A = this chain, B = another copy of it.
Amino acid sequence: MTGVLRDPRRGDVPRTPARRGGAPNLGPRAAAGNRAALLAAAREVFGSAGTGAPLSAVAKRAGVGQGSLYRHFPERIDLVVAVFEEQVVAVEELAAPPGIELPDLLGLVTRHAVDSVAFVDLVRPGVPDTRLLPLGDRVAVVLATRLDDAIASGEAPPGTTPDDLLLAVSMMAGGLSGVAEADRVRRAKRAWELLGFAVRIPAVTQG
């Protein structure tokens, strides 16, 4: 009862009860919906303000209490990873059928980059956290499977290595950073032209 330097947030200090009107507690049924809402909100917030955006903004946009955000995603990185994971999965799924070619894959990646400033963070090496690297690797693996065909058909420059693919993606994304929404697609297309890659950018985000 008289501990020195205990965690001060735990202790003799009386807390006032929570819950005094406000949003109703919808119970556990809201869990899945809340998680989805948080992901969607994070996608938008991170997309426009970067992955360092205030988490309180994410919670607010999701219409969810701060505590719920932390229950689902205890650390910022958990949320970041979850957001990127969705996009990586989308790329992997797109690559599943055999007829898909590199321009389609680059196109989807480009679409994600156009929709979210934060996407660059995924494909660049040297990132501080270990859980992002595997995601970048997964993208690299998928892209690499179509590289030889693309070079053969002139849709990628000869001499392109798998590493170059990720470099090219981050360069394309770099060309978008700070660019107004309306100009992004045009800039992205020109970036790929300068790099000598063919791309087919879908109209809307798939998955």
Contacts and interface: CB of A to CB of B under 8 A. Distances in A.
B53 A5 contact: no
Interface in A61-106: 71-72, 74-77, 80
A51 interface: yes
Contacts of A8: 52-55, 76
Given A5-B128, A12-B49, A171-B171, 14 more contacts: A1-B50, A4-B51, A5-B76, A5-B77, A5-B80, A124-B178, A126-B180, A160-B194, A164-B194, A167-B187, A168-B194, A173-B174, A174-B174, A174-B177
10 contacts: A1-B117, A4-B118, A13-B72, A14-B31, A125-B179, A126-B180, A167-B190, A167-B194, A171-B175, A171-B194
Contacts of A35: 17-18
B1 A51 contact: yes
A126 to B, nearest CB: 5
A173 B52 CA distance: 20
Interface in A106-133: 117-118, 120-121, 124-129, 132
Contacts of A195: 171, 194-195
B10 A54 contact: yes
Contacts of A53: 8, 10, 12-13
Nearest to A32: B18
Interface string A21-50: 000000000011001000000000000011
- Copy number in the complex reads 4
A121 B52 CA distance: 17
Contacts of A180: 126
B50 A2 contact: yes
A2 B121 contact: yes
Contacts of A124: 175, 177-179
Given A3-B52, A18-B32, A174-B170, A75 B9 contact: yes
A6 B50 contact: yes
A172 interface: yes
